[in-house]
Chain A
Amino acid sequence: MRISTKLTGFYVAVLAVFCVLTVALLSQLQAVSRGYDALLNSPVRQMDEARVLQVDFKKQVQEWKDILLRGHNSEDLAKYTEQFHDKEQQVRAEAKALTSELEDQETRQLLEQFTAAHLILSQKYQQGYQAYVAGKADFKAADKVVRGQDRPPTDLFDKAVQRLETQVKESVEAQREAVLWNLNLALGVAGGLLLVLGMVGFFIVRDIRSRVARLKAVSDRLAKADISGLVIDISGADEIAEFGESMKGVHAAIEELLMMASAHAAG
């Protein structure tokens, strides 16, 4: 193969490897970005929504306690009752929305159980409220009806949140491992290709240098007219071999000239 072909081929190979690596790295980057987008759009978002729901439920319970504490004043009673019902509706709507988004069957079941428990709790709150109003701010009677009733939904929801937390951690870990694997793959492929290119380049350069060195040795001997026993054997089909063939012509011409000079001197 001709040197110009080898060098052009090597140059094209380097460009091709560079382009392939660039495309591969961009693809990896997009894959990582998609992975994190999926993580943020699903488990992390659900986790956030669950946290909001958890806080809203605690606020609903807080509104109930405000009713019991300050409901002796009719204005406060109306105010906290309204806020209590707002929170109650909010919690119900958020639980319904979150349940519809969940893919994990067990978490979904926990949310459904929470919704059912929350409904029962609402009925208890209603009974307690009626006892409170009937007893003219009798918080003891009201508390007796609802005491400890918020525990089951709270526990159920805590379990759901805990499960979501575990899922987020697992998803983050899986994503981190996927990124690490992709990074190692990219480094391995890039390193492998660069190694192959480096080896090919090294052998091309070594071959050219060795053949040029042989050609120079021939040229040096011809320049010194030291042609005794000179054999020009530079095989191949490249420019160096062509130059070697030219050297053979020069060598033959010098030999012919010396032979004729010897014959002339002898004759």
Chain B
Amino acid sequence: MGARLVGFYEQAAKELGVPGRMKLAMLTGIPSLAAETQPDSAENIKKFEQALSQLRQMPKS
């Protein structure tokens, strides 16, 4: 359950640090703790991919 979603959080932390994790939670509406229990559904994965893509395009603060 949610292994791939948690992976997005790890990727965000690696690339963008703590602000990246926080912004990912803000954009997806699913914090990392909740991501562990959420299903890796196509809808959720798409949401996280789009959010991460959006974060990568944002200027780093």
Could you give, for residues 25-40 of chain B, a 1 whenever the CB lies within 8 Å of some chain A CB and a 0 otherwise?
1111111111000000
A250-B21 contact, Cβ under 8 Å, with A256-B31, A259-B32: no
Q: Judge whether B22 is part of the interface by a CB distance below 8 angstroms.
A: yes
A255-B26 contact, Cβ under 8 Å, with A260-B18, A260-B21: no
Min Cβ gap A266→B in Å is 14
Which residues from chain A contact B28 at a C-beta distance below 8 Å? 249, 252
A-B CB pair tally, cutoff 8 Å = 39
Secondary structure at chain B's binding surface: helix, strand, loop or mixed? helix
Q: Which residue of A lies closest to B27 (CB)?
A: A249
Q: Judge whether B23 is part of the interface by a CB distance below 8 angstroms.
A: yes
Residue from B18, B23, B24, B34 within 8 A of A255 (CB atoms): B34
Which residues from chain A contact B22 at a C-beta distance below 8 Å? 253, 256-257, 260
Q: Tell whether, in the assembled complex, residue B29 and residue A255 are in contact, meaning their CB atoms are under 8 Å apart.
A: no
Min Cβ gap A197→B in Å is 38
Q: Judge whether A158 is part of the interface by a CB distance below 8 angstroms.
A: no
Q: Report the contact-size class of chain A (Cβ under 8 Å from the partner).
A: 10 to 19
Min Cβ gap B9→A in Å is 8
How far, in angstroms, from A251 to B28 measured CA to CA in the complex?
11
Q: Judge whether A248 is part of the interface by a CB distance below 8 angstroms.
A: yes
Which residues from chain A contact B34 at a C-beta distance below 8 Å? 252, 255
Could you give, for residues 224-267 of chain A, a 1 whenever the CB lies within 8 Å of some chain B CB and a 0 otherwise?
00000000000000000000010011111101110110000000
Which residues from chain B contact A249 at a C-beta distance below 8 Å? 25-29
How far, in angstroms, from A2 to B20 measured CA to CA in the complex?
33
Which residues from chain B contact A250 at a C-beta distance below 8 Å? 26
A255-B27 contact, Cβ under 8 Å, with A260-B18, A260-B21: no
How far, in angstroms, from A253 to B29 measured CA to CA in the complex?
8
Min Cβ gap A262→B in Å is 10
Q: Which residue of A lies closest to B13 (CB)?
A: A260
On B, residues with C-beta under 8 Å from A are: 18, 21-34
Q: Other than A251-B29, A252-B30, A259-B31, give 19 A-B pairs with Cβ distance below 8 A.
A: A249-B25, A249-B27, A249-B28, A252-B26, A252-B28, A252-B29, A253-B22, A253-B23, A255-B25, A255-B31, A255-B33, A256-B22, A256-B24, A256-B31, A256-B32, A257-B22, A259-B32, A260-B18, A260-B21
Can you name 22 A-B pairs with beta carbons within 8 Å?
Answer: A245-B29, A249-B25, A249-B27, A249-B28, A249-B29, A250-B26, A252-B26, A252-B28, A252-B31, A253-B26, A253-B31, A255-B25, A255-B34, A256-B21, A256-B22, A256-B25, A256-B32, A257-B22, A259-B31, A259-B32, A260-B18, A260-B21
